[in-house]
Chain A
Amino acid sequence: MPANLRQKIWSFALIVLFFGGWEVFCLASGMSDLILPRPSQVFETLYNRFPVLWPHIIRTISTTLGGFALGVALGVVLGALIGVSRVAYDTAYPLLIGFSSIPKVAVVPIFVLWFGSGEVPAILTSIAICFFPIVVNIATGLATTEPELEDVLKVWGASKFDILWNVGLPRTMPFFFASLKVAITYAFVGTVLAETVASNRGIGNVMMSASSNFDVPLVFVGLFILAGLGVLLYVVFSLVEGRVTGWATRKNDIAAA
């Protein structure tokens, strides 16, 4: 525990050091705040404009969570379908890789073309960007069940479903939660991406209009909010992960329970 605490203190110190260094650098070099505003200016802007920013934050979060939820659902279904058989896994993999290699910025205009600007393309973009790690992790978790264990289960007369239910899915949980942490940040990126391209609301949109007004501190406010939200969502899923799949991390506090 002390080691854990010390690490937390160091992490915090690093963050303080980062912003402190940035502040000092700006002051010392006399950098214009049109190019790089000081962190203190950014926080000040954040504080002053917060009432105006709040609806945008809500919009970005709701879009992200919506896209994330749908992306996870899609990812789980596809991952389970692909992971159940080795053949399906090998067959579908090239297509998935191809799809995941498409830069999602290139897809946003298509979504806008189909659905107009607004929330729908943002949700679709975040689905498109976040479902892939889920598919891969679920499929891999299912496909890598130890063959010996599968033999033992088959000899007991277990059906495919029995194996999936008792071994496959529980085994996949650590992979699944690891992928959730990645997917939530991806979903976030997808949302903001679509908001910057075609939307009238959301943090991405705020940043776009701020930069066209040369309101650089506000652009940085957007960045800070995004970073903060990203960390927040990551932490939430880490906590859930720790509760559900503690067995995979072999922490000593489970031993005591």
Chain B
Amino acid sequence: MQTLGQAAQPSVILADEPLRAIELSAATVTFGRGDKAVPALSETSLRIADGEFVALVGPSGCGKSTILRLVSGLVQPTRGVVIVGGREVAAKALRIGMAFQNPTLLPWLTIEQNVMLPLRIVQPFRARYRRERRTTFRDKAHALLGQVGLKGFASRYPWQLSGGMLQRANLCRALIHEPRMLLLDEPFGALDQFTREELWSILQDLWLAHKPTVLLVTHDLREAGFLAGRICVMSARPGRIIDDSPVDFARPRTIAMTFEPEFVTLNQRLRDLIVHTRSLPAEREN
């Protein structure tokens, strides 16, 4: 991410502390008003340093995706503060890449054109798009596609690719504009077990190569354990973080590692936490 140096990144840097990419302070989100108000997130505080890989796990509907939407600025907190890249979110302080379970590639564009879409929109690439789309930008897209094993598919259309391939292309699209932060909302949820594991390794490689801050929302505890450097467990709706623990396995991690006793123990512990919070009535404190 050194190449981003020329784009000034105004941010508040606290002495001796790693730059905080994300900081939620008692952020509460409520959808709707009055009687129909639905609390989605209650007083959640979360700090994520630059370059960290954090996974959010928890029961369905606990507000995991709401945190992603808060961080990306798509949703404003009802109460509390959300600071991203040293600024309140609305300021759009840093470049963000995003990927959902649905790859949402545009069917009328080739894979290469799809991957290059952010460059048409995000500054400073946008200003150079016309000049460089056939040269440096295309090389960039091809390099990324090569990293995820889609080398020969640049000029294919999305419907010619399998679900797993589409999701790889989606990851490329999320990374092409060199985002400092990558927000992933169950990106592999719709894939079969083997494709999913393959993509974990690809995502790990991409992260090791580019080192963006990653916030990954997932249901899959093995996925969280394999990829993340830190796992946050959320309670049932309205969500709050009830457990936040580091994952210290050495990188690059392997699929085989996920069957080792230590990993299984971690998995078990997370599972128990989630099962426990699910069984609690939503309103009560744990």
Binding site for B on A (CB under 8 A): 146, 148-149, 151-158, 162, 166-167, 170-171, 173, 245, 247-248, 250, 254-255
Contact = CB atoms under 8 A, between A and B. Distances in A.
B123 A146 contact: no
Contacts of B177: 156
A153 B104 CA distance: 11
Contacts of A157: 92, 121-123
Given A162-B121, A254-B157, A152 B106 contact: no
B90 to A, nearest CB: 12
Contact of A151 (B98, B122, B159): B98
18 contacts: A148-B102, A149-B106, A151-B69, A151-B98, A152-B104, A155-B74, A155-B96, A155-B183, A156-B118, A156-B177, A158-B121, A170-B108, A171-B106, A247-B157, A250-B159, A254-B157, A255-B156, A255-B160
A168 B98 CA distance: 19
B72 interface: yes
A255 B104 contact: no
A252 to B, nearest CB: 10
Contacts of A155: 72-74, 96, 98, 183
Given A151-B72, A152-B100, A157-B92, 8 more contacts: A149-B104, A152-B98, A155-B74, A155-B96, A155-B98, A166-B120, A170-B108, A255-B160
Contacts of B156: 255
B117 interface: yes
Interface residues of B, number: 26
Interface in B91-120: 92, 96, 98-100, 102, 104, 106-108, 117-118, 120
B213 to A, nearest CB: 14
A237 B8 CA distance: 51
A75 to B, nearest CB: 21
Interface string B43-70: 0000000000000000000000000010
A149 B74 CA distance: 12
A247 B98 CA distance: 25
Given A146-B104, A255-B157, A151 B121 contact: no
A154 B73 CA distance: 9
A250 B106 CA distance: 13
Contacts of B159: 250
A166 to B, nearest CB: 7
